[in-house]
Chain A
Amino acid sequence: MTRILVVQSGPPELLTQAVDAVRAAHPEAELTVLLQREKSEDVPRRAGVEYLLNEGAKRAMIDQLRSRGFEAAYALYTRDPDYWKLEFLPFLVRAGRTYAIDEDLGCFSTRPRDNIALLRHVGAGFGGSPLKAMKAACRALAFPARVAWLAGFELWTNFRSGARWKWPT
């Protein structure tokens, strides 16, 4: 029996639609869904689908998933700000094939040799155009200076205003 992993890294509604779609595509497959801890309760459960909670030591969880030998893994590619790292989980669990499901329920293989949709997705993360990607890179490089400016601003402003709130009275 085909074993398939679906990784939640996006809103519960999209996950439910994705699980239904994967189930429709693979009616006999053994489906496992890895849920985000915080959103797990909002995900309606489907019969015949195993739901795991993403908790505990990350390393142990990855090892456990890897040992199951998934033939395929689907991750939601929704750029959830807090859980973007989960998009890489299908690679880490060494699933035979890795797929992404985007916000429009579009699905694409995430092996670069299959198509360029993955590159498009990555590119869109940097603004979707080369100049925007350059701008994002510059912003990242300038970030230490920005932090230094923020720290300097804080010190100077607190000094100038004679602020004493940091010291409890």
Chain B
Amino acid sequence: MRLEERTGPQLRYRVERAGGIPLREMIRRAARHGLALAVGLAAIPVSAGLGLAALAAEGVSRLRPRRRPEPAPARRGPRLATIQILNYQGRELLERNLPSVIAAVPAPHEILVVDNGSSDGSVEMLREKFPQVTIVALDRNYFFARGNNAGVPHARHDIVVLLNNDMRVEPDFLAPLLAPFEDDDVFAVASQIFFPPGLKGEETGLTRARFNGGAFEYSHDPVPADPPPAIPILWGSGGACAFDKRKWEALGGLDVMFDPFYFEDLDLSLRAWRRGWKVLLAPYSKVWHEHRATSRRFFGEDFVNEMFRRNSYLLQWADLRDPALLASHLLHLPLLAARDVRKHSLSGAKSFARAVLKAPQAISRRMRERVDGPAFRRLLEDTNLARPDVLFPSAKRLREGAPLKIAMVTPYHFWPIQHGGAARMYHAARELARRGHEVSVVGFVDRDEQRAAAEHLRGFCAEVRLLTRRPEREARFTALPTEVIHFDRPELHRELNTLIARRDPDVIQIEYTHLAPYGRRWPRAAVCLTEHDVAFVSRYRQMRAAHGLRAKSAAYLRYLRMFHFEVKSLRRFDAVFTMSGHDAEILAPYLDGVRVSPAGRIGVEELDEPRAPDPATLLFVGHFEHAPNVDAILWFAREVLPLVWATRPDVKVELAGADPPREVRALASDTRVSVAGFVPDLAALYSRATMSVAPIRIGSGVRVKVLEAFAASVPVVATPIGAEGLDVADGRELALADSPQSFAGRVLAMLAAPAETEAMGRRGRQFVRDHYSWGAIVAELEEEYRAALRRKGLLG
């Protein structure tokens, strides 16, 4: 029996055999593909013509004056609104929904109904039942754009709220809608639109778009929980959106090119953004929509869809002003047209033909408008990532000594503490909170279950948002390091930006080099980065330690990528904190004008467990997902331990740390080596350890394992790289050794002199007591924050 025939329902096979398709269906498919090919071919000259026409139009628009007349300034005082409802044959809808509007919009606000020549008695009903409503009765149906344009001049107030006649509003929908207009640069503020259960919600949420495959892909992203009062969006839906009347008139209102409906509101918003005006969503202004009640009823489903596709083309031809995006669209146009035909058959071809007929209007629009505003690409990115740049019109000034609001961005979970970086992030956040600062955390975790840590962190953080990072495919042939690509994700950008919009933090603290893309220049906060190690130095050392030409070349390329990225991106920060003075010395020459200080130092808490060392037990602690730890212990086991055992076969080795790989676990095949995995409390291990080893050969930064051993009074033998960044002396706080022979020699010597060894451990403890207490470190960090704020003029 064929395998396919035995397949169960779980696997969905997509094999289609020609014999299984009826002849009629095959002919239909062939015809559709033939038509798609024809339309695609016809689109080639259209695309070329549009390109040339757009070029010419751009040239003509350049002859126009750069500065256009600005609208008159708004009247000061409380903003009043005119609610403008466009109606066509909607008597029943008005009767049902208008009472909610009247209840929510008290005088002196105004309600204006523009009737598009209804013959169902809408006007008579309004005069009879709602005498407080102003009526503008048009002689025929002028559709959405012309109808609304006709009503706006009749509005008495500065703000015009366009509302569909099938909208029911919440009693308090108006105040949040008008509040953002305090900022003079706001053009439009949209309400959050909800749909009755069962209806698809296409207009609600955060309106965004991305440019992909030569065309816009629109999205309506959900509004985050506990949102700020306003969020930048790409466009305000014409169904429930407030507009500044002066700016509306300066832009010429909705473009009638899009008649009868769809995309006028998006087009208007894009024109406003290009003039530097803002379009926002007010999530606390809520309305309910009986979706598409009018248009589908009167025009039919096919026509509405056709208009949607036609206007989608027109919008791109009229509004795509970035040369690169326009070129991409025109190159893709034959494919897009063919795809529409393949999907929608004749209706797809008709949409394209209708768009081509209207193309001269789109091109003439390009001619009439000169573009001075932000680049389209930036606009898409800003709204997609919910960047809060447009939300804070006033300058910021903090009082000296006032508690700071700190937003921390972290790449890994840091509770429970499983590695040195986690210890730094956790203790810094906790100590800052203890000192009275408001600490919020956004970051990634590797697995869903790790998000439970948020509960613990909320004990001292104002807000914690942890996202699970999904594995991402590798981007080849780029100049960016792989880990940067893996961690630079729009969802975390959005989460951070939403946090910034909501809390307006004074300090944005980014953790780890590969999160540097989250540290944009931000005028309202000191943007700081903690370098847990100097990443390019680690990559360089990995390259030096690699064996074979292929491995060495790959490691060298990783080093080059990281060097370029780290040097370039760190220059954007207001302050960079390193784990040691040594790291700061390495970095500072590359970062002209950026404050580099060792305020990223890690602290340790002294362990009170009394020492009860075994005669000969060596301890290695390290998180084994960190490659230098794996390299270190394998080198130690293969090169050093045999030399130690040759003299002292009784020496035992204990390894503690999360996620030991197979090679490390395999070391336990010798009974003298034990691999404990993750140990939540290391006190007992430190207590019985004769000494701790840190045979680190690659990586950079400060080894927390060395400091923790010091804090537990455990003597340490380390390589010079293992002790890097610590102001310690060989033979005083620890023993240093580089080669396998010298490392084994130091271990054996210390085992032979237990009294001196224990004294060394006590000196190590005194060292961390003097230099590495969390209180002192975080006080220094706080002072660095304040200094960065002073340098930016935000403090004092």
Within 8 A of B (CB), among A79-127: 79-82, 97, 101, 105-109, 114-115, 117
In the assembled complex, how far is the CB of residue A129 from the closest CB belonging to chain B, in whole angstroms? 5
Contact among B16, B472, B473, B479 for A146, CB-based, below 8 A: B479
1/0 per position for B12-52, CB-CB distance to A under 8 A? 11111000000000000000000000000000000000000
| Contact status A72-B479, CB under 8 Å | no
Which chain B residues lie closer than 8 Å to A106 at the CB level?
11-12, 14
Which chain B residues lie closer than 8 Å to A140 at the CB level?
476-477
A57 within 8 A of B: no
| Complex Cα gap A117–B12 (Å) | 12
User: A150-B560, A162-B589 known; A38 and B661 CB under 8 Å?
Assistant: yes
Q: Is the interface of A mostly helix, strand, loop or mixed?
A: mixed
Which chain A residues lie closer than 8 Å to B534 at the CB level?
165
| Contact status B471-A21, CB under 8 Å | no
In the assembled complex, how far is the CB of residue B760 from the closest CB belonging to chain A, in whole angstroms? 24
Contact among A17, A117, A128, A136 for B213, CB-based, below 8 A: A128
| Contact status B15-A80, CB under 8 Å | no
Which chain B residues lie closer than 8 Å to A81 at the CB level?
471-474, 482
| Contact status A109-B15, CB under 8 Å | yes
Closest chain B residue, CB of each to CB of A163: B589
| Contact status A151-B11, CB under 8 Å | no
Contact among B13, B335, B478, B564 for A139, CB-based, below 8 A: B478
Which chain B residues lie closer than 8 Å to A24 at the CB level?
8-10
B557 within 8 A of A: yes
| Complex Cα gap A99–B472 (Å) | 23
Within 8 A of A (CB), among B199-246: 213-214
Which chain B residues lie closer than 8 Å to A143 at the CB level?
477
Within 8 A of B (CB), among A129-169: 129-132, 136, 139-140, 142-143, 146-147, 149-151, 153-154, 157, 161-163, 165-166, 168
User: A79-B473, A161-B590 known; A132 and B213 CB under 8 Å?
Assistant: yes
Which chain B residues lie closer than 8 Å to A150 at the CB level?
479, 557, 560-561, 563-564
Which chain B residues lie closer than 8 Å to A151 at the CB level?
560
B3 within 8 A of A: yes
| Complex Cα gap A93–B11 (Å) | 23
A50 within 8 A of B: no
| Contact status A101-B11, CB under 8 Å | yes
Which chain B residues lie closer than 8 Å to A131 at the CB level?
213-214, 328, 331-332
In the assembled complex, how far is the CB of residue A4 from the closest CB belonging to chain B, in whole angstroms? 8
A71 within 8 A of B: yes
| Contact status B335-A129, CB under 8 Å | yes
| Contact status B10-A105, CB under 8 Å | yes
| Complex Cα gap A143–B12 (Å) | 39
Which chain B residues lie closer than 8 Å to A69 at the CB level?
none
| Complex Cα gap A142–B6 (Å) | 48
In the assembled complex, how far is the CB of residue A24 from the closest CB belonging to chain B, in whole angstroms? 4
| Complex Cα gap A20–B8 (Å) | 10
Which chain A residues lie closer than 8 Å to B476 at the CB level?
140
| Complex Cα gap A108–B3 (Å) | 12
Closest chain A residue, CB of each to CB of B536: A154
In the assembled complex, how far is the CB of residue A127 from the closest CB belonging to chain B, in whole angstroms? 8
| Complex Cα gap A38–B12 (Å) | 29
| Contact status B3-A163, CB under 8 Å | no
User: A109-B15, A150-B560 known; A37 and B586 CB under 8 Å?
Assistant: no
| Contact status A115-B332, CB under 8 Å | no
Summed over the interface, the residue pairs from A and B with CB atoms below 8 Å come to a total of: 107
B394 within 8 A of A: no
| Contact status A154-B560, CB under 8 Å | yes
Interface residue count on the A side (C-beta < 8 Å) = 51
Which chain B residues lie closer than 8 Å to A168 at the CB level?
720
| Complex Cα gap A165–B331 (Å) | 49
| Complex Cα gap A111–B214 (Å) | 31
In the assembled complex, how far is the CB of residue A48 from the closest CB belonging to chain B, in whole angstroms? 16
B179 within 8 A of A: no
| Contact status B213-A129, CB under 8 Å | yes
In the assembled complex, how far is the CB of residue A71 from the closest CB belonging to chain B, in whole angstroms? 7
In the assembled complex, how far is the CB of residue A61 from the closest CB belonging to chain B, in whole angstroms? 16
| Contact status A105-B12, CB under 8 Å | yes
| Contact status A105-B11, CB under 8 Å | yes
| Complex Cα gap A93–B370 (Å) | 63
| Contact status B11-A22, CB under 8 Å | yes
| Complex Cα gap A97–B1 (Å) | 13
In the assembled complex, how far is the CB of residue A19 from the closest CB belonging to chain B, in whole angstroms? 11
B129 within 8 A of A: no
B612 within 8 A of A: no
In the assembled complex, how far is the CB of residue B282 from the closest CB belonging to chain A, in whole angstroms? 37
| Contact status B564-A26, CB under 8 Å | no
B669 within 8 A of A: no
| Complex Cα gap A150–B557 (Å) | 9
B671 within 8 A of A: no
Closest chain A residue, CB of each to CB of B5: A25
| Contact status A165-B586, CB under 8 Å | yes
Closest chain B residue, CB of each to CB of A162: B589
Write 21 A-B pairs (CB below 8 A) sorted by A numbering. A24-B8, A25-B11, A38-B661, A80-B471, A81-B473, A82-B474, A97-B3, A101-B11, A105-B12, A106-B14, A107-B13, A108-B13, A109-B15, A114-B15, A129-B332, A129-B335, A149-B479, A154-B563, A157-B563, A165-B537, A166-B540
The 3 A-B residue pairs whose C-beta atoms are closest, nearest first, are A81-B474, A21-B10, A161-B589
Known: A81-B471, A149-B479. 19 other contacts (CB 8 A): A11-B471, A21-B8, A24-B10, A25-B6, A80-B473, A81-B474, A81-B482, A105-B10, A107-B11, A108-B14, A131-B332, A139-B478, A140-B477, A142-B477, A147-B557, A150-B560, A153-B560, A154-B563, A166-B540
Chain A: residues with CB nearer than 8 A to chain B? 2, 11, 17, 20-22, 24-26, 37-38, 71-72, 79-82, 97, 101, 105-109, 114-115, 117, 128-132, 136, 139-140, 142-143, 146-147, 149-151, 153-154, 157, 161-163, 165-166, 168
